[in-house]
């Protein structure tokens, strides 16, 4: 236990030292909420990965690969496709963010649709949807600390220890805001995904070369993808990948990464830097999970495959390192979630109705983050059997932000009636369907509730765009927003032409 907890303590101390040495001071709300829009591609790439892939990847998706097999690869498909989406929206979102001093996703919607209320609605959907995942992340630490204690702690005791450690970590998140999050993401990301991939490849090699474990000894069910005649329905995988892809940039803590970069170039380069690591991590983790299913003890507890195989292959030292890797991934997601939510509470809820100065916004964001940490820590220590279902439901809800968000960026015609009406109708449809048909809809060929809600949302948005024409002034304002992006693009193109002409 000294070895495993020693590894955790050393890692925690290193992260705290990095944060302390960075000596961050709040200057204004832009600094606190989006790190002063100052980060280059390396920080952006690692910050995206560390927020995107939580520690639960090793438990939930590693476990899914071990128990269900190849279908778990859908997470990799949508994790990469969502970066394509990021590549496409990077320019308009960053330019509008910089020009109009936007700090959050609801800020962007308020700008595009010229509505204060859409900001509140988007913030409420984002915050409410994010809490179950925050609590789930804290509870996942229970598994981590139960293994680190070598079974000495009960699961509930391990959850309390995990929650206490992650809550302690939030002291620096609250103090330092986004700059602290991004700097620590860089260090945590290297541990979680660079060292993580090395350990995963080593464990795969150990299973294949030393234990004679191969794909050929897995049963047929592990290679099934739900298709025609399946229980889930032929469109189930399509729906999972589609909602995952477009939903990725609906999470406030992911979307805000578009505002932390120092330019469009950094955003696009960060995408190019992140995808090879994301691919290597996803492939190695999911192949590890599938092969790990054959290690003794994993079939009874597939979610623990990462810890079981690490301990069998490398003893307590490797188990300690496995714990550090999961903690590094968990910290990144939790910090990002809490920081983005705190900023939304100040900027999109309180600040939307009261005139607050920079200092007041920062103080309210800090109070919001502290309150959220306490709330999530308390919930994580409760026995909440329906939480995972709630988290799935939340995912089906959050993607309803996608219609006004993406169509608002690429299509001039949408208006505030369609945006608010579609979002609310889609959200309600998704929740009602998810409660009646949890998981997937048998009468819709396996589509998820979120996908059906999205269709309702889209229909309302498009119908409203044609049925309720905007005023001339509003039309002119929206045209101006799109023209701004075109002008910046033209300037970049013209600059490149001049630069490439011979002297």
Partner 1 sequence: MPAFKRDLRNAQPRWVSAWFCADAIIALAPPLYWAFDGDRTPILGVPVVVLYFIAVSTCTALSIIAAYLSEAFRGEIN
Q: Which residues bind partner 1 (CB under 8 A)?
A: 70, 73-74, 76-78, 80-81, 83-84, 87-88, 91, 214-216, 220, 223-228, 234-235, 237-238, 241-242, 263-265, 268-269, 271-272, 275-276, 278-279, 282-283, 287, 290, 486, 488-493, 495-497, 499-500
Largest CA distance in the chain: 73
Work out whether the CA dihedral 379, 381, 386, 388 comes out positive or negative: positive
CA distance 481 to 462: 20
Of 71 and 362, CB closest to partner 1:
71
Residue among 294 and 358 whose Cβ is closer to partner 1: 294
Cβ 388 vs Cβ 63: under 8 Å:
no
Residue in 296, 324, 5, 20 with CA at minimum distance from that of residue 171: 20
Whichever of 50 and 245 has its CB closer to partner 1, that residue is 245
For the CB of residue 388, give the shortest distance to partner 1 in the complex, in Å: 24
Nearer to partner 1, 130 or 226 (CB): 226
Which residues touch 185 (CB under 8 Å, ≥6 apart)?
43, 46, 47, 50, 51, 332, 335, 336
CB of residue 185 to partner 1, shortest distance in Å: 20
Closer residue to partner 1 in complex, CB, 84/375: 84
Smallest distance from partner 1 to CB 344, Å: 28
Shortest CB 153 distance to partner 1, Å? 36
Q: For the CA atoms of 30, 35, 39, 42, what is the dihedral angle to 10 degrees?
A: -150
Cβ 136 to partner 1, closest distance in Å? 25
Q: How far is the CB of 112 from partner 1 (least distance, A)?
A: 18
Nearer to partner 1, 181 or 290 (CB): 290
Q: Using alpha carbons, select from 159, 167, 164, 158 the residue that is nearest to residue 136.
A: 159
Q: What phi and psi values does residue 261 have, to the nearest 5 degrees?
A: -75, 155
> What's the min distance (Å) between Cβ of 334 and partner 1?
26
Q: Which residues does 155 contact at the CB level (< 8 Å), separation at least 6?
A: 142, 143, 146
Token pair belonging to 38: 């100052």
Residue 280 vs 428, nearer CB to partner 1: 280
């Amino acid at each position: 236990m000294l070895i495993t907890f020693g590894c955790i303590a050393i890692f925690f101390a290193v992260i705290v030292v990095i944060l302390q040495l960075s000596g961050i001071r709040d200057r204004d709300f832009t600094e606190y909420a989006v790190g002063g829009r100052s980060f280059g591609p390396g920080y952006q790439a690692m910050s995206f990965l560390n927020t995107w892939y939580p520690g639960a990847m090793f438990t939930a998706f590693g476990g899914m690969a071990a128990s269900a097999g190849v279908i778990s690869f859908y997470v990799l498909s949508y994790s990469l496709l969502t970066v394509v989406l990021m590549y496409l929206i990077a320019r308009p979102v960053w330019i509008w963010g910089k020009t109009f001093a936007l700090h959050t996703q609801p800020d962007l919607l308020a700008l595009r649709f010229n509505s204060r209320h859409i900001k509140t609605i988007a913030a409420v959907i984002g915050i409410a949807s994010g809490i179950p995942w925050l609590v789930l992340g804290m509870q996942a630490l229970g598994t981590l600390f139960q293994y680190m204690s070598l079974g000495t702690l009960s699961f509930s005791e391990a959850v309390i220890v995990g929650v206490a450690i992650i809550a302690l970590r939030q002291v620096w998140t609250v103090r330092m805001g986004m700059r602290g999050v991004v700097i620590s993401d860089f260090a945590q990301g290297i541990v979680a995904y660079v060292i993580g991939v090395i350990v995963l490849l080593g464990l795969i090699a150990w299973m294949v070369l030393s234990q004679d474990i191969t794909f050929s000894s897995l049963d047929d069910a592990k290679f099934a993808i739900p298709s025609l005649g399946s229980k889930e329905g032929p469109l189930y995988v399509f729906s999972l990948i589609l909602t995952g892809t477009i939903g990725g940039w609906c999470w406030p803590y992911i979307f805000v990464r578009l505002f932390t970069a120092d330019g469009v170039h950094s955003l696009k380069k960060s995408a190019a830097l992140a995808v090879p690591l994301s691919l290597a991590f996803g492939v190695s983790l999911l192949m590890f999970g599938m092969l790990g299913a054959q290690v003794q003890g994993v079939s009874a507890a597939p979610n623990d495959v990462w810890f079981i195989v690490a301990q069998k292959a490398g003893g307590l030292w490797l188990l300690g390192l496995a714990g550090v890797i999961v903690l590094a991934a968990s910290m990144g997601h939790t910090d990002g979630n809490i920081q983005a939510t705190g900023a939304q509470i100040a900027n999109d809820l309180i600040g939307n109705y009261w005139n607050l100065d920079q200092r007041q916004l920062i103080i309210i964001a800090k109070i919001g983050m502290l309150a959220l940490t306490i709330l999530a820590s308390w919930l994580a220590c409760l026995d909440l059997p329906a939480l995972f279902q709630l988290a799935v439901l939340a995912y089906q809800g959050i993607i309803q932000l996608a219609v006004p968000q993406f169509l608002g960026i690429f299509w001039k015609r949408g208006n505030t009636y369609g945006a608010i009406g579609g979002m609310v109708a889609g959200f309600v449809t998704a929740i009602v369907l998810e409660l009646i048909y949890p998981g997937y809809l048998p009468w819709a060929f396996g589509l998820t509730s979120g996908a059906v809600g999205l269709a309702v949302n889209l229909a309302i948005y498009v119908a409203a765009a044609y049925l309720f024409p905007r005023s001339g002034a509003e039309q002119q304002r929206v045209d101006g927003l799109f023209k701004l992006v075109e002008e910046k693009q033209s300037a970049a193109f013209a600059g490149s032409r001049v630069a490439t002409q011979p002297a």
